[in-house]
């Protein structure tokens, strides 16, 4: 199975070998290996149901592995769960804020779970509210926040214990583009401060922006691993030409363009031509007398990598 190569200079904060999670007869995580190094930003990219959240729950020592070896911060989650969790920050997929309490009280209460002194929690909470741009709302009820603000408050909450490892499960799912960019900006800052991040996402742009290295997961397995640009270089061409042919369907056109590209993918609403030079390919398409309703030349993304590896799109 795919093994992520290890850089010798930095210690591994998380390492998994042959990790398996089953729920009854269903195998959610099927024999995966990975290693996450100190200071890096590591992604798990895959569609819903790929096993990302189950993997995160095992890494965050909430859910015990069914089989395999897992070490987090040098310890075994099965025997040292509370000690490991004391050094982790977790941003779960579903917000679980105390909506009746103020932002400040949410942070204070969470900090108490780590047995931090109250004065210290308040000091940190003030800094974190500032960091997440929520200072002005400190005494508002959490219920009054927008979706993006709730996510930022959840991130602030996860940082109250000054964790060595921050785990974010789908940090921007359900947010509008502006709110997403704010969250990304804050995560980028954490990353540049040297905080180790683990991010699961089904958004390829999120993975490309935030992750130094990532694994692509599908149906419980790791299907590829590497840096985002490496993966794109390895599994896709430099550019992609997207052609839309209107209501007649795209099937009939596949044959007439297939020799122009390394590979052609037919999606319900468009054809993707994998080429090195998109403009040149488009000119060739026009030269053949074909008249697509619209055409778009873009760079390859992780979405294309995923399509290549699994034959499916990430977000459906």
d(CA 44, CA 217): 7
- E strands, the chain, are 12-23, 26-37, 41-45, 67-72, 88-91, 165-169, 196-201, 213-218, 221-226, 239-244, 263-266, 271-275, 294-299
Q: Which of residues 83-112 bind other proteins (CB under 8 A)?
A: 83, 85-88, 90, 92, 94, 96, 98-101, 105, 109-110, 112
Instruction: Compute the least distance from the CB of residue 285 to other proteins, in Å.
Output: 52
Distance CA 105, CA 117 (A): 14
Strands, sheet with 239-244, edge to edge from the N-terminal-most edge strand:
263-266, 271-275, 239-244, 294-299
Given candidates 7, 48, 64, 238, which one binds other proteins under the rule CB under 8 A? 64
Choose the stretch contacting other proteins; rule: CB under 8 A; options: 11-19, 76-84, 243-251, 279-287. 76-84
Query: Of the two residues 98 and 140, which places its CB atom closer to other proteins in the complex?
Result: 98
Among 6, 130, 162, 185, binds other proteins (CB under 8 A): 162
Beta bridge partners of 222: 217
Residue 31: what are its φ and ψ, rounded to 5°? Answer: 60, 70
Closest approach, Cβ 74 to other proteins, in A, equals 16
Q: Which of residues 112-131 bind other proteins (CB under 8 A)?
A: 112-117, 119-120, 122-123
- Distance CA(164)–CA(39), nearest Å, equals 9
Least distance (Å) between residue 60 CB and other proteins: 6
DSSP letter at 4 equals P
Is residue 138 involved in binding other proteins (CB under 8 A)?
no
Residue 227 Cβ vs other proteins, minimum distance, rounded to whole Å: 29
How many angstroms separate the CA atoms of 1 and 123, rounded? 46
* Chain residues 19-58 in contact with other proteins, contact rule CB under 8 A: 23
101 exposure class (CB count in 10 Å sphere: 0-12, 13-18, 19+): middle
Please identify which residue in 81, 147, 174, 233 interacts with other proteins, judged by CB under 8 A: 81
- Select 100 or 176, whichever has its Cβ closest to other proteins: 100
Cβ neighbours of 288 (radius 10 Å): 10
With CB under 8 A as the rule, give the number of residues binding other proteins: 35
The SS3 call for residue 293 is coil
Which of 15, 55, 63, 132 forms a contact with other proteins (CB under 8 A)?
Answer: 63
d(CA 40, CA 34) in angstroms, rounded, equals 13
Determine the 3-state secondary structure of 157 from DSSP.
helix
Which of 41, 53, 161, 236 touches other proteins (CB under 8 A)?
Answer: 161
Note whether 238 and 300 are within 8 A (CB): yes
Residues near other proteins (CB under 8 A): 23, 60, 62-64, 81-83, 85-88, 90, 92, 94, 96, 98-101, 105, 109-110, 112-117, 119-120, 122-123, 161-162
């Amino acid at each position: 199975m795919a093994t992520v190569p290890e850089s010798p200079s930095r210690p591994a904060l998380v390492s998994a070998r042959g990790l398996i999670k089953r729920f009854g007869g269903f195998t959610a995580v099927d024999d995966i290996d990975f290693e996450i190094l100190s200071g890096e930003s590591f992604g798990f990219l895959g569609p819903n149901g790929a096993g990302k959240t189950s993997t995160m729950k095992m890494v965050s020592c909430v859910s015990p592995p069914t089989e395999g070896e897992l070490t987090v911060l040098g310890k075994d989650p099965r025997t040292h769960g509370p000690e490991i969790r004391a050094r982790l920050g977790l941003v779960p997929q579903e917000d679980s804020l105390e909506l009746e309490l103020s932002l400040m009280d949410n942070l204070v209460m969470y900090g108490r779970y780590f047995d931090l002194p109250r004065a210290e929690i308040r000091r940190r909470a003030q800094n974190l509210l500032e960091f997440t741009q929520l200072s002005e709302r400190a005494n508002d009820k959490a219920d009054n926040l927008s979706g993006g603000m709730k996510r930022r408050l959840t991130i602030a909450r996860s940082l109250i214990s000054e964790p060595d490892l921050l785990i974010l499960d789908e940090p921007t799912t359900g947010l509008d583009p502006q709110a997403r960019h704010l969250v990304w900006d804050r995560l980028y800052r954490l990353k540049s401060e040297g905080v180790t991040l683990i991010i699961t996402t089904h958004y390829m742009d999120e993975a490309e922006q935030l992750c130094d290295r990532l694994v692509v997961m599908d149906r419980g397995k790791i299907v590829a691993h590497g840096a985002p640009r490496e993966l794109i270089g390895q599994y896709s061409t430099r550019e992609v030409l997207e052609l839309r042919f209107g209501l007649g369907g795209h099937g009939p056109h596949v044959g007439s363009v297939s020799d122009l590209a390394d590979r052609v993918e037919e999606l319900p609403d468009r054809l993707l031509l994998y080429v090195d030079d998109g403009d040149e390919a488009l000119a060739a398409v026009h030269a053949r007398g074909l008249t697509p309703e619209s055409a778009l030349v873009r760079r390859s993304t992780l979405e294309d990598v995923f399509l290549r590896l699994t034959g499916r799109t990430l977000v459906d």
